A = this chain, B = another copy of it.
Amino acid sequence: MRYIFYLLPRCSLLGTCLARLRGFQKLSSVDEALQKFFSATEFPEPKTVSAPLREAVNRVLAETIVAEDDLPQVDRSAVDGYAVKAQDVSDASQFKRVTLGLTQRAVLADRCARRLWTGNPLPKGADAVAMLENTKQVNNSIQVLTALTPGENVSKKGEDIMKGEVAVKPGIRLKPQHLGLLAALGVGRVKIFEKPRIGIFSTGNEITEVGRRRLKNQIFDSNRLIISTLCEEVGATPIDLGIARDNFEMITEKFRASLAADATISTGGTSVGGPDLVPEVVNSLGAPGIIVHGVAMRPGMPTALAVVDNKPIMMFPGNPVAAMIAFDVFSRPLIQRLSGLRRIETRPTLEARMTRRIATSLGRRTFVRVRVIQRSGGPIAEPVSARGSSLISTMTKSNGYTVVPEDREGLEKGETVVVHMFEAVEEK
C-alpha cells in the first residue's frame, strides 16, 4: 500500500492528499479483526523466572505444583473440644449422657476423652471430636451430650489436599488464596512467566508532554499514560517510548525500538490519508505488515492491527476514549495470551436496566459508556453522553460500558444489558 501524491497548482498544500480523500474502503467487523489479528500472531511460550512466593502475587504460574505432603499432615481437630472414640458415644444424647474419663495419654483408651483445641492433632485411637458446647465437665470426666460418628469434627489427614495431588496448575494467576495453599504446602519459591513487555508511544505534531508549557493549539498527551496504566492493570510491563512527530523517520524509529518488546501499541495517526503515516510506516517495516485497517466499531474505527517480525502491533486512534475501548477489545486478550494465562480474564460484568433509549449505527459495534447505579429494584444503567464519543470525561463520568451489536440500531429504555465495569458500582 503506497500513496500517490498529486500536486495541484492552485489548491496549495491540500492537493497533496487528494488521492486519499476517500476514507476507509472497507471496515472489518470486530470479530473478523480479532480473528485475523490473533491468527497472524505467534504466541511463543513466555520465558520463566523463579520467584519467592511473596513476590509471585498476581503473576502467572509457569509450572505444575504437586503436593509433597498430605494437608493436613495428620488428623487434626476442627473444633475446640474433646477427642473421643465415636463408638463410645454413638448413642449419646441430652437424655442419655455418656461419661468418659479425662486423660492426657498419647493413645486414647476406650471410654476416655482428651481435651483438644482447634488444630491440635488427634491422639491415636481417637476418631471424632466432641464440641465443647456439647459436653459438660464433671470433676475428672466429661459427659457427652450428642452422638458422634467417626470423623466428626476432624480435619482428616490429606482431606484438604493429598500427597501427589496437583495443587495449582500452570497458567493460573496467583491470587492470595493460591499463595495461601502453596505456603501451607511449604512451597517457598515458584516458577512464574515473565510479564510481556509492551512498547508504547503517541504520534502527532500537536501532542506535547504533560508538565511542559503548552503552545497554542497543542494537546497534552494523555494516551501514553492511559495505555501504560492499562497495561499494568492487565499484567504487562509498559515501555514508554515517548512521542513521535508526524514524520516517517521518527515513527519508523519508534517502531524499530519497540520491536525489542513483545508487542507495540501506538496511538494517533491511523486515519487514511493526510498526515496519518502510522500504517504506512508499519508496512515498510516487514511482513506481513498491516492485517486490519479500519474496524466497524464506535469509537475506535480507525484502528489498525499488524504483525511485523512475529511481533503484534496495535495502532489505535488518537482519541483517548477510542484508544481505551480499542485496548479493551484487542490488547487485553492479546496481552493475557502473551502472559501465559490459561484463560482470558474479562472485566467484571453486571446486568443493569437502561434508563433511556439510545440510538446507534447499524453495522457498527458500539461501546456505550454508562453509569451503573445500585437501586432497590436492581442496578440501572444511565447512558453517559451518547453523542460526544471523543470526550474523555465520559470515561470518568461512567463506570462501565455496554456493547450494542452490529445488527442493532440502539438499545431500548428498560432493556437489560450486560455492562463491562471499569469502576465500582455506585450505591445510591
A-to-B contact residues, CB < 8 Å = 8, 10-14, 17-18, 21-23, 53-54, 57, 71-74, 78, 80, 102, 104, 115, 117-119, 121, 131-133, 135, 137, 139-140, 155, 159-161, 167-168, 173, 175-181, 183-188, 204, 206, 210-211, 214, 217, 219-223, 225-226, 228-230, 232-233, 271-276, 302, 317-320, 324, 343, 345-346, 348-351, 388, 390-393, 395-396, 421-427
Contact B186–A214 (Cβ < 8 Å)? yes
Cβ-closest chain B residue relative to A10: B140
Bound Cα distance A12, B114 (Å): 11
Closest-CB distance, A148 to chain B (whole angstroms):
15
Bound Cα distance A18, B135 (Å): 12
Contact B396–A186 (Cβ < 8 Å)? no
Contact A345–B140 (Cβ < 8 Å)? no
Contact A392–B57 (Cβ < 8 Å)? no
Closest-CB distance, A318 to chain B (whole angstroms):
6
Contact A23–B184 (Cβ < 8 Å)? no
Contact B80–A274 (Cβ < 8 Å)? yes
Contact A22–B180 (Cβ < 8 Å)? no
Contacts of A351 in B (CB 8 A): 351
Bound Cα distance A255, B313 (Å): 53
Contact A210–B53 (Cβ < 8 Å)? yes
Contacts of A173 in B (CB 8 A): 423
Contact A229–B57 (Cβ < 8 Å)? yes
